[in-house]
Amino acid sequence: MANGTMNDEYPDESQRYAVCNARWDAKDSVNMKTAVFKIYGDIGESSCSGIFCDTEEMISSKEISEFIDNNQDAEQFIIRINSRGGDVQEGWAIHDLLVSSGKKIKTIGEGKIYSIATIIFLAGSEREIMKNADGLIHNPFIPPYTLADKYESGDLEKLAVGLQQEEAKILDFYVSRTGSAKEKIAEYMSAETKLSAEDMLSLGFATKIIEPVVALAYLKPIKSFKMDEKAFFEKLGSTLDGAISKIKNFSRIEPENLVLTDVDGNELTLEKAEGSPAVGDAATPDGTFTMESGQVIVVADGVITEIREPQATELEKAKQRIAELESQLTEAKTEKEKAVAAEAKFREAETEAKALVSELSKLKNEWTPPQRQKFNKVDKAGNVNLATVAEIRRKLNNPKSE
């Protein structure tokens, strides 16, 4: 787009579009009275100087203003665009005239929506683009044919500042209207990026992709025939699947690739933004790559054909065996501790049993026949201490109570 500066300050874009299109939200656009304007050509003013005259068809803000004045009774303006772009100032003027017209604006991209024509395209609240149309965005520049014989340093500085201001203005406008990330749009503008219809939709420039209407002609057969419906639809399905597989993910924007580095410092590029490498992934260059993890990736004819997982080394095997032995040793120590505790408990029970046996033996020795008990009226029965017997009985009945 040729450079130009505008001194008018633009109000908030979101408010402008909301005000101009809010009252149309509830209406059916099919029933609206509509006026159509075609921007088929470059954007700018036709000029004549002496005997020389630029006869190429140019679309100017003057023509748009006249179109608006002549269609005051219309409720909706449809602006069809097929343009390489042109003069920046004229493009901004056309955009502002459309937005401030008070009409519902619908833009349709046909063929080319390049340069400053993208600004006009974004004037629509509905922005449709033909499936095979293209967009193009880039930084503003000064065409070589507009340069004078010479420039002083101050002149060049002014030109540079003007270009930077216009670049920032366009970038901010793109971001506010599309909702795309500023860094991404700036990168595409610097690279003078051509955008497919799919790109225009995904970036937010367009709101819908439309298919062209196809006219059909056919011959009525003289003799009727019976169609094999199953075979027909099977063939139709395979044809559609093939076509879809060819066009899916179509984009003129260079995809973000995943770059891996092997142990030798060689780079392997996978044609996907994230994830792990897998057999069948597109990758470059061809060759065999050993990753730091030990994984080996084989690429042939631009596709990953084999992935070999790392084999355990002798050292790794030894470490694994040590870990197993340590686990077994821990289990053995636990079992030993259990055995020692069981043995201690057994010794304790054994000591207690021996003490009971000793007390029973002592009682046996102190026993007195019944005929001699009448001479002993104390708390003993046959010289046996009843309290001691009761205590022994308690221990025998409940040996764990101690």
pTM for the model: 0.52
Q: From its phi and psi, is residue 275 left (phi > 0), alpha (psi between -120 and 50) or beta?
A: left
Using CA of residue 233, residue 235, residue 241, residue 246, what is the dihedral sign? negative
What's the CA gap between 46 and 29, in Å, rounded? Answer: 34
Tell me the average confidence (pLDDT) per consecutive run of 10 residues in the chain, 402 residues long: 41 49 43 89 74 66 96 95 93 96 95 95 96 92 62 73 87 94 93 93 95 62 53 58 52 75 91 84 92 90 89 75 89 88 86 80 63 48 61 69 52
